[in-house]
Chain A
Amino acid sequence: MPSPTIETALARATDELPALLPLIEAFGPMLIAREAHRAQAPGWTGPPPEIDAERYSLGTPILAGVGFQDRSAELPGLAATLLPTLARSFPALAGQFDALAESIRSGSLPAQELWAAAFGQLPAVPGVSVHALSLAAAELVRPFIERQAADLLDHARELPWRQQVCPVCGGAPNMSVLRRVQDDAEYIQAHGGRRFLRCSCCASEWTHKRVSCPSCGCEEPDELVVLRDPARPFERADACDRCKTFVLCLDSGEMVDIPHPDVAALTMLPLELKAREKGYAPMAEHVWSGLGG
């Protein structure tokens, strides 16, 4: 099934869930910008890292010991367009994003340090909180690493990957989607679709066993919990009573237009909060995950 544009998915979400309008208005422009920048970003350049089929199949991600290619030189240009978007979406942080933009423009915050900030090495920037810097750096770097990851994953499509972490970067999943895959097979096709986990870091997707906890591997039905709102049965939080974690899941098996996973995850924030209230922790968070808690 085709996916609508991210704008279409956001418009539908606004119609269906008017109570989430403030949330959608805040993060929607950011998601649109993320998608647009990802489309324009250069992918992996040069030969890909050598993939040892045996090591990979045993659980060594493609970028283990290598890392993403540094695109810090392109961050100032992207910051000039993305930071004003973030400032409009989050008025309370507008002053900090303006200060960050000035630091980048003046060169007082070198691009390499901004790139490293996205991976947790946060420098001190005058007038910018750690949270604002972390959010901005992650969003600035994300389009580049997501494009690189898409290129790299293509080189391992035929190899088995049964891990609970990303086959490209080793990141944990913060989202999953059940997709009904249509192929030319002559045999009966499952209605439920395969389960794809989605990396919180680089947005790569990989298949994973459906009836199992992607965190601890638990397969006991009595310990696997599905939380959902009866009014939106295609949205669920797959939780595990053994390790007390959960991952959001969009069951797209009977959907006409499958929303973008980021938009789907955004509209599932109430479900995420419900899971947290019940004592489960997410395997990995979204940008908006801390809200409401």
Chain B
Amino acid sequence: MPKAILVDTTRCTACRGCQVGCKEWKNFPAVPTKQRGTHQNPPDLTHYNFKLVRFAEHMDASGKVTWNFFPDQCRHCLEAPCKSGASLEDSIIIDKATGAVIYTEKTVKESFEAIRSSCPYDIPRLDPKTRRIVKCDMCIDRVRANLLPMCVKSCAMGAMNFGDRADMLALAAKRLVAVQKDFPKAQLCDMESVSVIYLIVDEPAKYHKFAVADASDAMKGAPGMTRKELFAGMFEPLRRAAKQVQG
């Protein structure tokens, strides 16, 4: 049964336990960084940081400041554009039992730029030592052993939830109704197309440029078209061909 993660950002305190837990489980080394005047550290996802809590400050016209937290990670798309963009069949695979999108060692033969640019959430990173393209694998080793993904296990606030997709969608819908009473703009990000669903209370762009697939401005070279629309159009012929082959 496909799995899903619900990230309820209304409960996130940006403790970064998920970020640290991920690094601990993967046994990744520390990444040297500099103080940039923000708690977001390191500045971006790296080949040693598959999970990153993003911080975004905003002030409205009345001077009220809001601080948005966004535990960023791979969304494990149901129809992963990165897989469609790969040249090899098995460099990027989708685990049938969980729906996790897994990058294999064969990603060394893929074009990193092609894979990264195919991701509407800007997730893939290149390991300069191994030349593998890497990202979150939904802790597939843990999940297969009936253990929660490390980010979910380490979340002390109940912001991270993991389970069967149907259960997570039901929980997401319930939380959305509750949160919308105080935050009318609350929404679930791309819930129909991804396995990692974010509940946010403001416009997606106020969390992260790539919070949703079409949060960014219109793509360069494709005026008036969002990234999501661009990818949908790009891979539609492939999907049609695949469906014809499958009958």
Cβ contacts under 8 Å, B157 to chain A:
188-189
Q: Which residue of A lies closest to B11 (CB)?
A: A186
Q: Which residue of A lies closest to B147 (CB)?
A: A254
Tell me if A107 is interfacial: C-beta within 8 Å of chain B: no
CB atoms of A255 and B147 under 8 A apart: yes
Tell me if A120 is interfacial: C-beta within 8 Å of chain B: no
* Segment of B78-86, B162-170, B189-197, B217-225 in the binding face: B162-170
Cβ contacts under 8 Å, A73 to chain B:
none
Cβ contacts under 8 Å, A256 to chain B:
3, 143, 146-148, 162-163
Residue interface bits A253-281, CB-to-B below 8 A is 1, else 0:
11111000000000000000000000000
Q: How far is the CB of B87 from chain A (nearest CB, A)?
A: 34
CB atoms of A254 and B156 under 8 A apart: no
Tell me if B158 is interfacial: C-beta within 8 Å of chain A: yes
Cβ contacts under 8 Å, A1 to chain B:
163
Cβ contacts under 8 Å, A186 to chain B:
11
If over half of A's interface residues share one DSSP class (helix, strand or loop), that class is named, otherwise mixed; here it is loop
Residue interface bits A185-200, CB-to-B below 8 A is 1, else 0:
1101101000000000
Residue interface bits B136-171, CB-to-A below 8 A is 1, else 0:
000000010011100001101110011110010000
Tell me if A182 is interfacial: C-beta within 8 Å of chain B: yes
CB atoms of A255 and B163 under 8 A apart: no
Once A and B bind, how many residue pairs between them come within 8 Å at the CB atom? 33
Q: How far is the CB of B2 from chain A (nearest CB, A)?
A: 13
Cβ contacts under 8 Å, B146 to chain A:
12, 255-257
Contact among A183, A185, A254, A257 for B153, CB-based, below 8 A: A254
Best-surrounded residue of A2, A255, A256 (most CB of chain B within 10 A): A256
Cβ contacts under 8 Å, B163 to chain A:
1-2, 256
Cβ contacts under 8 Å, B167 to chain A:
2
A256 to B100, CA, bound (A): 15
CB atoms of B164 and A255 under 8 A apart: no
Q: How far is the CB of B176 from chain A (nearest CB, A)?
A: 14
A257 to B163, CA, bound (A): 8
User: Residues of A within 8 Å of B, CB-based: how many?
Assistant: 15
A210 to B224, CA, bound (A): 60
A199 to B146, CA, bound (A): 26
CB atoms of A254 and B148 under 8 A apart: yes
Q: How far is the CB of A211 from chain B (nearest CB, A)?
A: 20
Q: How far is the CB of B33 from chain A (nearest CB, A)?
A: 27
Cβ contacts under 8 Å, A254 to chain B:
147-148, 153
Q: How far is the CB of A57 from chain B (nearest CB, A)?
A: 30
User: Residues of B within 8 Å of A, CB-based: how many?
Assistant: 16
Q: Which residue of B lies closest to A256 (CB)?
A: B146
Cβ contacts under 8 Å, A189 to chain B:
156-158
CB atoms of B153 and A2 under 8 A apart: no
Q: How far is the CB of B172 from chain A (nearest CB, A)?
A: 14
CB atoms of B156 and A188 under 8 A apart: yes
Cβ contacts under 8 Å, B148 to chain A:
254-256
A183 to B147, CA, bound (A): 20
CB atoms of A191 and B158 under 8 A apart: no
Cβ contacts under 8 Å, B143 to chain A:
256
Residue interface bits A234-267, CB-to-B below 8 A is 1, else 0:
0000000000000000000111110000000000
In the complex, chain B residues 181-225 whose Cβ is within 8 Å of any chain A Cβ: none
A182 to B175, CA, bound (A): 13
Cβ contacts under 8 Å, A253 to chain B:
153
Cβ contacts under 8 Å, B161 to chain A:
182
CB atoms of A2 and B156 under 8 A apart: no
Cβ contacts under 8 Å, B164 to chain A:
2
Cβ contacts under 8 Å, B3 to chain A:
256
Best-surrounded residue of B143, B148, B154 (most CB of chain A within 10 A): B148
Cβ contacts under 8 Å, A255 to chain B:
146-148
Cβ contacts under 8 Å, A183 to chain B:
158
A280 to B143, CA, bound (A): 34
Cβ contacts under 8 Å, A257 to chain B:
146
Q: How far is the CB of B134 from chain A (nearest CB, A)?
A: 24
Contact among A2, A12, A182 for B158, CB-based, below 8 A: A182
Q: How far is the CB of B23 from chain A (nearest CB, A)?
A: 17
Q: How far is the CB of A140 from chain B (nearest CB, A)?
A: 33
Given contacts A1-B163, A191-B153, A256-B147, 18 further A-B contacts (CB under 8 A): A2-B163, A2-B167, A182-B158, A182-B161, A183-B158, A185-B158, A186-B11, A188-B157, A189-B157, A189-B158, A254-B147, A254-B148, A255-B146, A255-B147, A256-B143, A256-B148, A256-B162, A257-B146
Residues of A with Cβ closer than 8 Å to B?
Answer: 1-2, 12, 182-183, 185-186, 188-189, 191, 253-257
Can you list 8 A-B pairs, Cβ within 8 angstroms, ordered by A? Answer: A2-B164, A182-B158, A183-B158, A189-B157, A191-B153, A253-B153, A254-B148, A256-B143
Pick the 7 closest A-B CB pairs, nearest first.
A188-B156, A254-B153, A254-B148, A254-B147, A256-B146, A255-B146, A189-B158
